[in-house]
Structure 1
């Protein structure tokens, strides 16, 4: 059935696997393929069983995606496994319910549709074409059998069919589009009176009693996270000192890498290229005619000019590796001035005449530059060999002596070193800068069981083994350490409150008819700005100010200014005044024709998502769902 997907697979076993998948798809359906009886069922939805192994695999894949998205910032403690498991299970149940509904309504995914979907996935392609080898390799890396992947993909595609039908039936009514259009294109004329809180900070005094009170009431704000100091040994290839290489070793390297020390041989030539196209016989006849004319003394350039379809070019001092394989092999087999026979390439025939030969030049073994490079090369090889040997020993010792670093230190001659304090998310600039180190340091084996870590590969041929030398749990920082920080915070809070009070008083005066310009002059720390008409996506105003400008109810008919006080992102208080409102249009008969179409499409998409969510909720509510929590752990 899906044999085409496995193009490139060979042998009887491959056909057996495909045949089994075909039987499973065709006779037993998706559920029976990956629901072995020995695998406990954690949930069932409208007759479809979800097994423990399926749930575990889906949860693991969710964590893999989170790690890929967050990189070194991923912290499993941010995603409790119980909550992730429940979320994943809910999604699997929703999908099973939707697939059951789709089947009942007659939706189907043909084998051809499934095959096309797989082949069109860029992840399974190489050079723009589907690769069966890559397909199998990626699934193998993910631990997902192809048949299981195909079954899940079929389920997803069936759900997508329902989504597409819902989307096709959704539409946006003209009044909806009008409202959305006006909202998108509305502009409001605003004035902003900003009261700078820092203008009041000199008037604020904070005593020790207030600081103590704040410290006592907000203990969580001053918690120091759990931290550790580490002892570790580091095996670093760059710090190994292998013995100096002897002459025999250098000569052996010289012979093996001789071509790297000099300049390679180069050839220049005249070349005629004759594309093969659809008629290889005709191209072959043309090649023979070219060779015959060249043997009579005509230059290849002249022959190309007189020969239909022939292309002439000069090859200027190229190495063999820089040329297509058949061309390079033929050219480097010619003497100067000699003419080649017909040379067959992938898409063309070639005729070559060697015009210049530059032999390879290799400096003598005793050349100082060669000697320096040989010694550096030998040292790198010896150092890498010594590092591999010591790394193997380090692996063994880390396993054999997990309760301390002294054995490792003594046998490998490595100094036991120490770090400063390291937290889960901050390790400074030393060893703690590596996420792998912090992860190992706070693992249960190292932190709770007091064992050495496994060997940690830091890259660039550096391996470490560590253990916890000191540990402090989460604890509140002493008051003396945070006193100044609390004082600054209390001053900022009181200053902000005074600025907001001043802004509220300014709003009351504005509502009584006093001009904002005069209010700004009379208010401490106040400044008036008049941006004029602004749109919803204006990037010159503070986000809080812009949001308030469009949240304030405003009626052009009354013509009365409307006001609101907000706190800005920079900690200032702002009085926002809305003076007028208008809707900008493109000037077309209905105003913004193309934009209206875009808005209508967006609104239709939004309505479709609402309808699909409503259908999903309805189906889930009436579905026959059973969850066996005892089987989930």
Structure 2
């Protein structure tokens, strides 16, 4: 192919093509052309990028939250489709746009605001009060440090500052609240003749010809879903048998080489008083106040009382300055240097300057390093070595699997024989997925791909998770096909009966309307002639769904009859009803409680805020260059 191109692109043609290719480089340079989008970014928004690993982590977190919220209703395949992934990326782009705009406006998140948020988190509380130790333990369990968590929290709060500011500018008048209550709390008075559909069932005769005609006219409703059954070869690292072992000397050498790993670091419990630099207090004044407080504590004044009175760290001030246990890298460098330079419990540091202000630090307790002895760590060292050998073997076999499929994708047998693996089989499943490996969206997608389904080839190896890979082949294909008429005959008869009965109910409703006359004055007589009763309803609201949501929605779409009631035929729970709307009563603002008025205010405010934010995001999108790399999603 390359030679063919060389043969044809010569002379004037070659010069013309090369000239076109040169234009971008002349104006923008090779580097800008090649690096328009960073290699690890899924999107670039203005001057900021959304890295692929950040998108994947946020998307995984979002799906985990959905799985927890929806339970059995959660659809793993639907939430992993390209369109859904793109929609989620769009929400991340919107958040980044708002954060960028917030920063451009000069809005910032104060330390006090962060402290207030932290105080409200239940996981950081003991007996309803913020506890520094609980805070650090919760973060440690999540694999985060206070520094990284508070930075993420600051970014999150920053992204919500603008919507909050917009919400504060939305003014809702009392007249608007009154109007909302009149409409939302509106009730309707009506008389109704309900026509039960069951009264017609015995009068309906469904022939075999009727069933067959319905079947032919609605064939798609009685068609099975396309399905497959797969054969597959599965490679799992932890199932690989290895005789790897280590002698005692090697185990001990590995322990000594990684001794620090088996020791918990020294921890120190500390309290502090933070003096910030403010508009009223410059750096020199802050340092002098810190020095004064340090001297007062040294002279015997109570540290905790002074912390409550003077400390600008509002979280720890409530605890008398207590920061709980601190390990290396928990705090900023200058703070930790001063803390770990002290020797004894009760020692006070000289005032220490950090980016947060000036600190007076007291060492409250020391917890020495704790670790595992060689005997305690021995089994762990051996297990990790064996696990590493398994992973190495897995990597070797997985590469071999790729090579074997590439060499021959017509059968799984060479693959199974070469790797010493068993050919397994799934149960039948549709495009919605199934059990086992069929619960994985990539397996389902591959199973119904042209390569595997149409050409009958072995799929490229699919990595289900870390150190877990499969190659699949369609074992049996079940095309979508109509279910036999005999199988669905009774279902069709019931459908025909319901449809005809509903139509007969509507026809009867129309006769009642005609017999009742203008305004429905003779509704009771018309109903009685058909063996039916008239029911009176004085006040039915928008949320009275015991009548059925379809009926209530249709009822509230009717115009106010004023002084001339009219008859209407409305759908009601699979049948029909004749309704004479007699009065429309607006809600009563004067009778609404403060809670109801506040709720109405919030609903109006939220609606307008959503409109304003949507408009702002559209404006930001129109004025910001956004580039998305679809294939990296």
Q: TM-score range by the shorter chain?
A: 0.5 to 0.7
2:411 corresponds to 1:437:
no
Q: CA deviation at 1:478?
A: 1.7
TM-score (normalizing by structure 1): 0.56
Distance change in 2, residues 1:489/1:249 (3 Å): farther
Give matches, 1:222-241, under 5 Å. Answer: 222-241=222-241
2:571 corresponds to 1:574:
no
Distance change in 2, residues 1:325/1:252 (3 Å): farther
Distance change in 2, residues 1:553/1:265 (3 Å): closer
Q: CA deviation at 1:378?
A: 4.4
User: Contact 2:80 / 2:441 at 8 angstroms: preserved in 1?
Assistant: no
Alignment partners' CA distance in 2, 1:583 and 1:387: 72
2:537 corresponds to 1:531:
yes
The DSSP-based 3-state class of the residue aligned with 1:320 is coil
Q: CA deviation at 1:473?
A: 3.4
Give matches, 1:89-238, under 5 Å. Answer: 122-123=96-97, 125=99, 129=103, 188-202=188-202, 204-238=204-238
2:274 corresponds to 1:267:
no
The DSSP-based 3-state class of the residue aligned with 2:505 is helix
2:78 corresponds to 1:73:
yes
Alignment partners' CA distance in 1, 2:323 and 2:561: 79
Alignment partners' CA distance in 2, 1:431 and 1:305: 62
Alignment partners' CA distance in 1, 2:421 and 2:497: 53
Alignment partners' CA distance in 2, 1:75 and 1:349: 50
Q: 2:353 aligns with which of 344, 351, 356?
A: 344
The DSSP-based 3-state class of the residue aligned with 2:393 is helix
**Partner of 1:360 in structure 2?**
369
C-alpha distance after superposition, 1:440-462 (max 9, x if no partner): 12222222333222222323543
Alignment partners' CA distance in 2, 1:300 and 1:389: 68
Alignment partners' CA distance in 2, 1:345 and 1:415: 62
**Partner of 2:498 in structure 1?**
492
User: Contact 1:548 / 1:564 at 8 angstroms: preserved in 2?
Assistant: no
Q: CA deviation at 1:464?
A: 1.8
Distance change in 2, residues 1:243/1:280 (3 Å): farther
For the aligned residue pairs, the C-alpha RMSD in angstroms reads 5.1
2:452 corresponds to 1:452:
no
Q: CA deviation at 1:407?
A: 2.2
Alignment partners' CA distance in 1, 2:231 and 2:521: 72
Q: CA deviation at 1:128?
A: 6.0
Distance change in 2, residues 1:471/1:120 (3 Å): closer
The DSSP-based 3-state class of the residue aligned with 1:438 is helix
**Partner of 2:339 in structure 1?**
331
Alignment partners' CA distance in 1, 2:296 and 2:186: 79
Alignment partners' CA distance in 1, 2:206 and 2:237: 57
Alignment partners' CA distance in 1, 2:257 and 2:192: 77
Alignment partners' CA distance in 2, 1:199 and 1:258: 85
Q: CA deviation at 1:585?
A: 6.9
Q: CA deviation at 1:505?
A: 4.2
The DSSP-based 3-state class of the residue aligned with 1:485 is helix
Alignment partners' CA distance in 1, 2:450 and 2:210: 41
User: Contact 2:570 / 2:577 at 8 angstroms: preserved in 1?
Assistant: yes
Alignment partners' CA distance in 1, 2:226 and 2:270: 72
Distance change in 2, residues 1:553/1:293 (3 Å): closer
Alignment partners' CA distance in 1, 2:439 and 2:528: 50
2:400 corresponds to 1:393:
yes
Q: CA deviation at 1:314?
A: 4.8
User: Contact 2:230 / 2:476 at 8 angstroms: preserved in 1?
Assistant: yes
C-alpha distance after superposition, 1:326-365 (max 9, x if no partner): 2223322332255545533222233445453331122322
Q: CA deviation at 1:494?
A: 3.4
Give matches, 1:393-432, under 5 Å. Answer: 393-424=400-431, 426-432=432-438
User: Contact 1:545 / 1:576 at 8 angstroms: preserved in 2?
Assistant: no
User: Contact 1:403 / 1:452 at 8 angstroms: preserved in 2?
Assistant: yes
**Partner of 2:566 in structure 1?**
562
Q: 1:469 aligns with which of 475, 496, 502?
A: 475
Alignment partners' CA distance in 2, 1:348 and 1:528: 79
User: Contact 2:401 / 2:461 at 8 angstroms: preserved in 1?
Assistant: yes
Deviates more, 1:400-409 or 1:427-436: 427-436
Question: Gaps (5+ residues) in structure 2?
Answer: 1-23, 30-35, 37-61, 64-74, 85-92, 106-178, 313-319, 592-596, 616-633
Alignment partners' CA distance in 2, 1:248 and 1:266: 32
The DSSP-based 3-state class of the residue aligned with 2:371 is coil
Aligned length: 439
The DSSP-based 3-state class of the residue aligned with 1:484 is helix
Q: CA deviation at 1:291?
A: 7.0
Question: Gaps (5+ residues) in structure 1?
Answer: 1-16, 23-33, 35-67, 80-118, 132-178, 610-633
Alignment partners' CA distance in 1, 2:203 and 2:253: 83
**Partner of 1:62 in structure 2?**
none
User: Contact 1:225 / 1:474 at 8 angstroms: preserved in 2?
Assistant: yes
